[in-house]
């Protein structure tokens, strides 16, 4: 369904900038780096074989058990230096991007990685786990021929549902559900989609992130609460809705820590898709005519905080998507209707994900004994967007906060979305100025 009817929803990308600190007189050439990245990707497949699974017949996830020669051909298909070519059947691609001046000099001191894995296989947290694995294995090179290929299938993870902590009651309900869900007639294969645009803002001022956390804590909320409330306040100001309207935020949240069984709940163990969805609605009157002390904004932040706290106490949330399985056809039709909507003014429904601190999953420094050190300077997760919804997210790395908005060029201009992003960022800055 993702491939045939919802183009633009199967393409999460995680980009990262890595610096190379040489510990001796040796240099790193582009060819050497590509070989090292290939070996690191092979090692990541060894530890997380999900990365090489494929989608067959639009309904099955299949892992091909291959020998070293076949793995070598997989690496040639999936790891690209600067210029990519189309791959057939592979659901993961890793791009190695180097600066031409450094290639010419024969010494690479920084490079970019761009990792794409089909959303059926992994989510954002899974991508960060894979990136961390690639960088660790880059610093500890092992040739892919040294593995006994085939043994890695022992590490293929179960689905999030099979790894979930579920009550006996819900397990019984799931067992009674039909295995095949009939779908309504769909409008045919997706047409070529309009491009996705991305705008980002990083607060580079010293201590901005910690200062914002301190202000939020003073008002009894966490960082996610004020970031989400500020985003809604911004959308309210831009959209100028009627009083009877409501602002709706659809947020994905990670199921791993609270909702999966061990070992899959432990750090960087589960790379598969393990995301729950939460919809929050707040009346627009909550944001109307906010005073100089931002009482309405902080009130909204507290309500958002309470909603997330309530969600954390819920049981069986990992089964939420499966319990809605019988409504798949209806949900898909609604999604397709959203994709095909004509351009309009800013809507009151948006997506927002508050990623945890990058240090929760990424180690940042990857030491290669006596040779060189790879340092993760920055990263950014970006998702494709084909609907009128703005897809917003935030994350922190190296004590800096980054805001991001992805959007469809069919529905918005980059200039307009940039103005939304700037208003969101400026509102957060104003919270510190008023303290």
pLDDT at site 332: 67
Cβ contact 301:277 at 8 Å = no
The 3-class SS string of 63-121 reads CCCCCHHHHHHHHHHHEEECCCCCCCCCCEEEEEEECHHHHHHCCCCEEEEEEEECCCC
Backbone angles phi, psi at 212, to 5 degrees: -65, -40
Ordered domains of the chain (ranges, CATH)? 2-157 (3.30.559.10), 196-357+382-433 (3.30.559.30)
Give, to the nearest 10 degrees, the angle between helix 30-47 and helix 68-78: 120
CA distance 248 to 346: 13
pLDDT at site 239: 86
CA distance 349 to 226: 18
pLDDT at site 29: 87
CA distance 186 to 183: 8
Backbone angles phi, psi at 249, to 5 degrees: -120, 125
Concatenate the DSSP letters of all residues of 214-281 into one string.
HHHHHTT--HHHHHHHHHHHHHHHHH---TT-EEEEEEEEE-HHHHB-TTTTSTTT--B--EEEEEEE
Neighbours of 283 (CB within 10 A): 14
Give the strand pairing for 365-368 and 372-383.
Answer: antiparallel
Q: Which burial class, exposed, middle or buried, applies to 373 when counting CB atoms under 10 A from its CB (0-12, 13-18, 19+)?
A: middle
pLDDT at site 201: 98
Candidates 390, 402, 409; CA nearest to 351 is 390
pLDDT at site 246: 87
pLDDT at site 2: 56
Helices and strands in the chain, H and E counts: 14, 14
Residue 293 token pair:
């002390």
CA distance 66 to 259: 33
Cβ contact 131:14 at 8 Å = yes
Concatenate the DSSP letters of all residues of 268-310 into one string.
TT--B--EEEEEEEEEGGGGTT--TT-HHHHHHHHHHHHHHHH
CA distance 91 to 119: 9
**Which residue is listed with tokens 């309470």?**
306
pLDDT at site 141: 85
Render each residue's pLDDT in the chain as its tens digit; 435 residues.
555 555 544 567 888 888 888 877 778 888 889 999 999 999 999 999 999 988 777 678 889 999 999 999 899 888 987 533 444 567 888 999 888 788 888 888 999 999 998 888 899 999 999 999 999 999 998 888 899 999 999 999 999 999 999 999 989 888 888 777 776 666 555 555 568 899 999 998 889 999 999 999 999 999 999 999 999 999 998 887 777 788 999 998 999 988 999 999 999 999 999 998 899 999 888 887 666 668 889 999 999 999 999 998 888 888 887 777 776 666 666 666 666 666 666 778 899 999 989 999 999 999 987 788 999 999 999 988 888 889 999 999 999 999 999 998 888 999 999 999 999 999 999 999 876
Neighbours of 312 (CB within 10 A): 12
The alpha helices in 318-369, defined as continuous H runs, are 320-323, 328-339
Could you tell me how far CA 208 lies from the centroid of its own chain? 24
CA distance 100 to 233: 44
For residue 283, the cross-strand partners are 246
Backbone angles phi, psi at 77, to 5 degrees: -75, -35
Cβ contact 175:271 at 8 Å = no
């Amino acid at each position: 369904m993702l491939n045939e009817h919802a183009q633009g929803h199967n393409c999460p990308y995680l980009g990262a900038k890595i610096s190379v600190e040489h510990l001796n007189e040796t240099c790193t050439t582009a060819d050497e780096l590509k070989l090292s990245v290939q070996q690191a990707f092979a090692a990541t497949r060894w530890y997380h074989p999900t990365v090489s699974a494929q989608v067959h017949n639009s309904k099955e996830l299949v892992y091909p058990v291959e020998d070293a020669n076949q793995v070598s051909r997989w690496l040639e298909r999936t790891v690209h230096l600067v210029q990519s070519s189309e791959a057939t059947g592979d659901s993961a691609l890793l791009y190695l991007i180097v600066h031409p001046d450094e290639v010419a000099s024969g010494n690479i001191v920084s490079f970019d990685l761009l990792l794409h894995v089909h959303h059926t296989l992994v989510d954002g947290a899974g991508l960060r786990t894979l990136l961390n694995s690639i960088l660790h294995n880059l610093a500890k090179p092992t040739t892919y021929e040294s593995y006994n290929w085939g043994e890695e299938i022992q590490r293929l993870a179960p689905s999030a549902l099979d790894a979930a902590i579920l009550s006996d009651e819900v397990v019984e309900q799931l067992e009674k559900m039909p295995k095949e869900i009939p779908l309504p007639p769909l409008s045919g294969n997706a047409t070529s989609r309009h491009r996705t645009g991305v705008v980002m803002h990083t607060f580079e001022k010293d201590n901005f992130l910690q200062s914002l956390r301190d202000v939020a804590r003073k008002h009894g909320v966490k960082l996610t609460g004020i970031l989400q409330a500020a985003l809604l306040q911004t959308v309210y100001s831009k959209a100028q809705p009627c009083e009877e309207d409501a602002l709706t935020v659809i947020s994905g949240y990670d199921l791993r820590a609270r909702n999966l069984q061990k070992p899959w709940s432990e750090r960087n163990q589960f790379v598969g898709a393990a995301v729950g969805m939460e919809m929050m609605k707040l009346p627009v009157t909550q944001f109307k005519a906010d005073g100089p002390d931002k009482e309405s904004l902080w009130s909204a932040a507290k309500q958002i905080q309470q909603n997330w706290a309530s969600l954390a106490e819920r049981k069986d949330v990992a089964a939420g998507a499966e319990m809605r399985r019988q409504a798949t056809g209806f949900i898909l039709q609604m999604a397709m209707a959203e994709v095909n909507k004509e351009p309009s003014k800013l809507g009151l429904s948006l997506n927002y994900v508050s990623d945890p601190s990058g240090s929760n999953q990424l180690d940042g420094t990857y030491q290669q004994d006596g040779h060189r050190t790879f340092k993760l300077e920055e990263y950014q997760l970006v998702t494709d967007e084909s609907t009128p919804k703005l897809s917003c997210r935030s994350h922190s790395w190296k004590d800096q906060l980054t805001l991001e908005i992805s959007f469809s060029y069919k529905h918005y201009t980059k200039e307009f979305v940039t103005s939304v992003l700037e208003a969101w960022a400026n509102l957060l800055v104003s919270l510190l100025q008023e303290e």
